[in-house]
């Protein structure tokens, strides 16, 4: 149960940091910010694994993990904003 709470906290922090880094307004609720951070954590883990050869299954929490979670959240947020800007015209 405590691990779930940490996931929520890390997701919120990574999502908030990503929203601070990316310029412009991002109309998101708190829940969407947490989801952004959680998805960003997955993306950051895969990026870290691909670049540095780290094990994405490692469960220890450290600063580099939060940093890569934020980098992943920035990537996801930029993709989301590009999709929103373009609209669903391509679908």
Task: Look at residue 12 and tell me if it is in a domain.
Answer: no
pTM of structure: 0.80
| Position 91 in a domain | no
Q: Give domain status of residue 24, yes or no.
A: no
Q: Examine the pLDDT at 63 and tell me if it is beyond 60.
A: no
Domains contained in the chain, number: 1
- Range of the structural domain that residue 50 is part of: 30-86
Q: How far apart (Å, rounded) are the C-alpha atoms in residues 26 and 45? A: 24
- Please write the tens of the pLDDT for every residue from 65-74: 788 889 999 9
66 within a domain of the structure (yes/no): yes
Q: Please, what is the angle between helix 30-52 and helix 63-86, to 10°? A: 120
Residue with tokens 């993709």: 79
pLDDT tens readout for residues 41-58: 888 878 877 777 766 566
The residue with greater pLDDT, 90 or 83, is 83
Residue 6 belongs to a domain: no
What per-residue confidence (pLDDT) applies to 16?
A: 94
Residue 67 domain-assigned (yes or no): yes
Q: Is residue 75 part of a domain?
A: yes
């Amino acid at each position: 149960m405590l691990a779930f709470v940490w996931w929520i906290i890390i997701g919120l922090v990574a999502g908030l940091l990503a929203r601070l880094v990316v310029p412009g307004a991002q109309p998101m609720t708190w829940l969407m910010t947490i989801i952004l951070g959680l998805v960003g954590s997955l993306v950051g883990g895969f990026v870290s694994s691909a670049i540095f050869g780290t094990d994405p299954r490692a469960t220890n929490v450290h600063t580099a993990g939060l940093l890569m979670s934020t980098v992943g959240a920035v990537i996801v947020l930029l993709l989301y904003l590009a999709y929103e800007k373009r609209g669903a015209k391509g679908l």
